[in-house]
Chain A
Amino acid sequence: MQRRSAARLSPLLLLLLLLLPLAWGAGPWPPRADRELQVSSRLAGQAARVALHYLNYRLGSPSALRALGQVRKATVKPIPGIGHKYYLQFTTEDYKSSQNVGTCLATVLYLKRKPRPAVNINCTYTKDQKQTREDDYSFYKKLRQQTKPITGNDTPDSYGHIEPALEPAWALAVAGSSYLMWEKSTENLGYFMAQVKNVKQWITKDDSIDFDYLVILHEIPTQEMISCHLRVIWTPGHPLKVKYFCLSENQRSESGEGSGTESGSTNGIFNEEEANF
């Protein structure tokens, strides 16, 4: 019944949440000497978003995408020689409906040497998981039933309109972009997915859904719009497979790929098994 995912509702977590005001100063949480951030501070919000990019990528579920609600508590601890570790508590909203769907506790470690932040996240989820699984499956069925590959441009368009037929493809782009945005985020650079410039579906012979995208990311605080090619391969219930290649106006190019097996551990032990596909 429970998914092998970071979003688990466990009695221990519930207890932890209830005891949070007390627990904050003890256990795995940082001692009071570390710097507490204003909940409205950009660093706190940015770190929370990084944690959510990671969560959205790992869940790989277009119907369970989450956006940041509000930061409730944020602390940052410098780890000399390693980086900065953020301890966060924030609420989340359903990406489509903006309804509150639960609270998360997360740590985000920005490392000095390795670019990708290390994330550990646990969330409550108030949406019916059976419902989201069914929604994912209807998405999947609709896409599998395509005899003609889905193609599209400018989603949303200049006026913010998303063609209903392109909604599933767009949601998958958000999930795939989450991997990309997690990879690229640093303590000072944050991302939003601004637009799907182009989408093209590949009809596969196996049971996967395969999309090629050109997405535009909005980079903060530089305000740059970054174009990235994104390849997303999805089978419901399986980790998302993502491959990307980005080009910015300043001709910085970066690429990467992920297959859902990346570790979010914060102990400095990285088990990276990036399968080729």
Chain B
Amino acid sequence: FVFTRDQVLRIRARKEEQIALLRELGELEDLQIDYWLSPAQPGLPVDARVPFHNLQAVKVFLESNTIPCSITVDDVQELLDEEKEAMMVSRKFERSNNSFSFSSYHTIEEIYSWMDYLVAENPDLVSKIQIGQSYEKRLLYVLKVGGVNRPAIWIDTGIHSREWITQATGVWTANKIATEYGKDASLTAILDTVDIFFEIVTNPDGFAYTHSTNRMWRKTRSINAGSSCRGVDPNRNWDAGFGGPGSSSNPCAETYHGPYPHSESEVKSIVDFVLSHGNVKALLSIHSYSQMLLFPYGYKAEPVPDHQELNDLAREAVAALAPLHGTKYTYGSTIDTIYRADGTAIDWSYDNGIKYSYTFELRDTGHYGFLLPASQIIPTAEETWLALMKIMEHIRDNPY
């Protein structure tokens, strides 16, 4: 089918008899009129595609019956060609970022290539920094959102590789931050005050292992001297209460703290980055599952000096999260709410002057656990966003 020089006429019938005429016209097979908007009632527009060689006859008919019309499409084929080209351009775009879907779980390669796409799409806002290498020499990437050196918020997802909802939420959230800048007034005000550093695949070796071999792998993949068991729990390896009973000294255990603090390059890279930056005001570490918002300490029962403020902010954050999908979170200090945990990231950051140190435990509460269905990725990310915004707004409004 070719539609070269076919036209689309917009016809305005004002009387019932005119509508009847138009219907009869449509039934004349030789004219091959194709109604895009059929004749229905007086006053409603009628759109008719008329083949080129019948245009004159149709126009004469309309004129002689005083039925006004105008040309809305001059050349249908031209219109089709333009549309086809636009589709090809959009498909090329999709291919170049692998038709990235936020409601699916992805591999490292897919996430890393998407990160490059995000940077390319937002060159003035987002940049990618390499902060180190994993044990197996994978590159550790951090997305920086913001501008010149300002107070900063650090966010990490995927430090425990089996918590797949966290890396997926990280991707959605990074995208949200980049796309809402300049649109959402509150976020724009936040980004005009603070920078955000976002490490999405914080434990790439573990993550690759969950895809290739063992979906339930939690730790890093470092080799432990004198043991056949690999890996250190990257959230027991920080220098805060390191080695205490809230972690294990057995290399085969899931909460093995490692030979010494910051022995894991995945952890050391963050420590070095945060300390050399010198102006990080918040550290938000995202985990799953349990639906909790936790603040220090995990390594001792004594409340932190800022307990009141952190507790109040946590209450507000979970209250902001709940209404969207009815998801209920509990909150409190790590040791009171989840369990004693020694050598954790947020305890280290708090003890290093970073007041706003929080651990998120995302969905769910045990039904699917680590194996959260992909259909819950976007709802989880959307609700977590509301809690993150609450915290970031508070940080913006309470500089220290």
Where the two chains meet, the residues of A that have a C-beta atom closer than 8 Å to any C-beta of B are 38-42, 45, 49, 67-68, 70, 95, 98, 156-161, 192, 194-195, 216, 218, 220-225, 249-250
Scoring A159, A161, A220 by chain B CB atoms within 10 A of each residue's CB, the highest score goes to A159
Contact between chains at A249 and B252 (CB < 8 Å): yes
Q: How far is the CA of A42 from the CA of B339 in the complex (A)?
A: 7
> Which secondary structure characterizes the binding site on chain A?
loop
**Shortest CB–CB separation between residue A90 and chain B, in angstroms?**
12
Q: How far is the CA of A127 from the CA of B318 in the complex (A)?
A: 29
Contact between chains at B371 and A222 (CB < 8 Å): no
Contact between chains at A221 and B253 (CB < 8 Å): no
Contact between chains at A38 and B216 (CB < 8 Å): no
Check: B341 CB closer than 8 A to any chain A CB. Answer: yes
Name the B residues within 8 Å of A224 (CB-CB). Answer: 253-254
Check: B330 CB closer than 8 A to any chain A CB. Answer: yes
> Which secondary structure characterizes the binding site on chain B?
loop
**Shortest CB–CB separation between residue A3 and chain B, in angstroms?**
24
- Among residues of B, the one whose C-beta sits closest to the C-beta of A154 is B215
Scoring A192, A194, A223 by chain B CB atoms within 10 A of each residue's CB, the highest score goes to A223
Q: A194-B216, A216-B216 are in contact. Are A68 and B365 (CB under 8 A)?
A: yes
Q: How far is the CA of A45 from the CA of B375 in the complex (A)?
A: 27
Sample of 7 further A-B pairs with CB below 8 A, known A160-B374, A223-B255: A41-B337, A67-B367, A158-B164, A159-B374, A160-B368, A194-B371, A221-B339
- Among residues of B, the one whose C-beta sits closest to the C-beta of A96 is B367
Cβ contacts A to B, 12 pairs, < 8 Å: A40-B331, A42-B336, A158-B105, A159-B373, A160-B368, A160-B372, A194-B369, A221-B339, A221-B340, A222-B253, A223-B218, A223-B255
Q: How far is the CA of A250 from the CA of B229 in the complex (A)?
A: 10
Check: B207 CB closer than 8 A to any chain A CB. Answer: no
**Shortest CB–CB separation between residue A68 and chain B, in angstroms?**
7
Contact between chains at B216 and A220 (CB < 8 Å): no
* Per-residue interface assignment for chain B, residues 183 to 225, with 1 indicating a CB less than 8 Å from any chain A CB and 0 otherwise: 0000000000000000000000000001100011010000000
Name the B residues within 8 Å of A159 (CB-CB). Answer: 105, 371, 373-374
Q: How far is the CA of A38 from the CA of B338 in the complex (A)?
A: 12
Contact between chains at A222 and B368 (CB < 8 Å): no
Q: How far is the CA of A161 from the CA of B164 in the complex (A)?
A: 14
Name the B residues within 8 Å of A156 (CB-CB). Answer: 368, 371, 373
**Shortest CB–CB separation between residue A71 and chain B, in angstroms?**
9
Name the B residues within 8 Å of A160 (CB-CB). Answer: 368, 371-376
Q: How far is the CA of A169 from the CA of B380 in the complex (A)?
A: 28
- Among residues of A, the one whose C-beta sits closest to the C-beta of B218 is A223
Q: How far is the CA of A40 from the CA of B291 in the complex (A)?
A: 11
Q: A250 is contacted by which of B252, B328, B371 (Cβ under 8 Å)?
A: B252
Name the A residues within 8 Å of B164 (CB-CB). Answer: 158
Q: How far is the CA of A271 from the CA of B248 in the complex (A)?
A: 38
Contact between chains at B365 and A195 (CB < 8 Å): no
Q: How far is the CA of A218 from the CA of B366 in the complex (A)?
A: 9
Check: B332 CB closer than 8 A to any chain A CB. Answer: yes
